[in-house]
Each structure stands twice: as structure tokens, then as C-alpha cells.
Amino acid sequence: MTDHSASEIATARRALPLLDLTSLNDGDDADSTAALCRRAVTPAGSVAAVCLWPQFVPQAKGLLAGSGVKVATVVNFPGGSFPAEKVAAQIAAALADGADEIDVVMNYADVYQGSGTRALEHLKACREACGPTTMKVILETGALAKPVLVERAAAIAVEAGADFLKTSTGKVPVGATPGAARILLQACKDAGLPVGFKASGGIRDVTGAAEYLALADEICGPGWASPATFRFGASGLLDALLAVLGHGKPGVAPSSGY
């Protein structure tokens, strides 16, 4: 049995309620959705949300009723290339099915190929469709790559009314990075209104979680990160956190690219 340090245990306790437990695999079905929802409520506490494909929102809502775990889904995913009318329709359908949070991929191609105007107008339409529902905007920072483009995308998302700035879909080779996280966290701090941060793509252990929490503490203040302002989008991370907290289950480590 591995002995974990006090700092590892503290990080795991802090990170678990910030987790958006995610499964966005091509082969997801009713059984995998049920398994995901079972994992969301743990002996060490519940995660913030599950994040899954839109067709599984009604099932997840039923399974998680009364648990306090939110149900998030994705739209304009993963390429960010659907027209605004289609994405608005996706959002409306997800909300009708009971989704608590919407993770929308911005038209990030317009950020590096164009002026960003189309991306802005697209996200404004998404904001209108979401109404008061939490809207997390996925910038796909790994595809944008250059800091100046990540900064531009963050500014566009904030202007459009994003509730969270999210790094990645988990569907491109580069997911969350500390460099991108620093830019997005600074944008959250400078927004002048509440904007949260979500790190997703490749965060699978307590060391990685600690790095992003330390960045949030440094940039936004030690009391800033809470489920209302900070999330991890991950799948395997939960098992790593539970292992540190003494609730490990060897052999249970689903992978979704997150």
C-alpha cells in the first residue's frame, strides 16, 4: 500500500469536488452512462458534474436525481464548425432534456484564420440560447497553440458572456497545458465579472491537479477555486484521487482521452 503525503491528500480532497467526470467516447451507451453516474458519487464525496454526449442527458438526470451532481453536455463538438442555428438547436434540445451546464466549442478556426468576428457572433448566439444556464466555452488551446491566439480566443469568449473558459475538447493531440491555463486564468481575473476556468485534456494524476490548482491560487487568489469557478474535465483523474484518499479500486480506470 502506498503512503501518500499530507499535501497529496489535501490536493485530492480539494480536487474531487471540482471534477467534471467526463466520458465522450464514440462507443458510449446506456451501460457506460450508468457506470459513469455510479462513479460520480464516491465514498469521499461527489464530483461537481458528469459531462457526456447529449443523447445521454435524460438518463443521467434520472440516475443522479437528488445527488447534487450536475449534468453537463457538449455542443458544436468537437470541431467547432457547425452554424450558429444548429448549435442553438442543440442547446435548446439539451436544456429541454434537463442539462444543467453546456460546454460549447467556439469556432476556434476563425480565431487563427480570420478576424474572430464570426467566432464572437457565434458565441453570442450560444449565450442567448443558453439563457441563465452555465455556458463553458471550449477554446481548443492546443490547436490555437500560440499565446497571442489563446489570449484572443479568451477575450472573445469573455465578451460573448462565457461563464467558464475551458482549455480543450480532449480530441486533439494537445490538451490542457500550464501555459494555456495561465493565460485563461489571467483572463478570468481581468474579466471584471465572474468567469471560471476549466482544465481538460490529459490531467490524470494528483501531481497534475496540484499544478493547475497552484496556478489558480497564484493568479486568482487562494480562496478563488471552487465548483462555481474551477473545474477539471477528466475521467481517469477520479481514480487517482480516490486512490490517494484510500478508496482505490485496482483495475478500474476508464479512458476517454481526457
- What is the predicted pLDDT for the residue at 34? 98
Angle between helices 237-244 and 6-15 (to 10 degrees): 130
Half-sphere exposure of 224 (CA within 13 A, CB side): 22
Active site residue 70: no
- What is the predicted pLDDT for the residue at 258? 60
If we measure between CA atoms, which residue out of 205, 140, 132 comes closest to residue 167?
Answer: 140
Does residue 250 have a cis bond before it (omega within 30 degrees)?
A: no
The per-residue DSSP string of 125-156 comes to HHHHHHTTSEEEEE--HHHH-SHHHHHHHHHH
Per residue in 72-88, pLDDT (tens digit) is 999 999 999 999 999 99
pLDDT (average), residues 235-249: 92
**Active-site choice (70, 136, 171, 198):** 198
Per residue in 111-128, pLDDT (tens digit) is 999 999 999 999 999 999
Residue 256 confidence (pLDDT) above 90 = no
Which CATH number is correct for 6-244, 3.40.630.10, 3.20.20.70, 3.40.50.1860, 3.30.70.2190?
3.20.20.70
- pTM for this entry: 0.95
Residue 252 confidence (pLDDT) above 70 = no
C-alpha cell read off for 237: 483523474
- What is the predicted pLDDT for the residue at 250? 44
pLDDT (average), residues 135-160: 98
Residue 25 confidence (pLDDT) above 70 = yes
In sequence order, the β-bridge partners of residue 137 are 104, 165
Of 248 and 247, the structure prediction assigns the larger pLDDT to: 247
Residue 24 confidence (pLDDT) above 70 = yes
Ramachandran category for residue 25: left, alpha or beta (phi over 0 → left; psi -120 to 50 → alpha): beta
**Active-site choice (103, 110, 163, 239):** 103
pLDDT (average), residues 187-205: 97
- What is the predicted pLDDT for the residue at 179? 98
Residue 69 confidence (pLDDT) above 50 = yes
Domain ranges of the chain: 6-244
Ramachandran category for residue 218: left, alpha or beta (phi over 0 → left; psi -120 to 50 → alpha): alpha
Active site residue 146: no
**Active-site choice (70, 166, 171, 239):** 166
Confidence band for 255, pLDDT divided at 50, 70 and 90: very low
The mean of the pLDDT values for the chain is 95
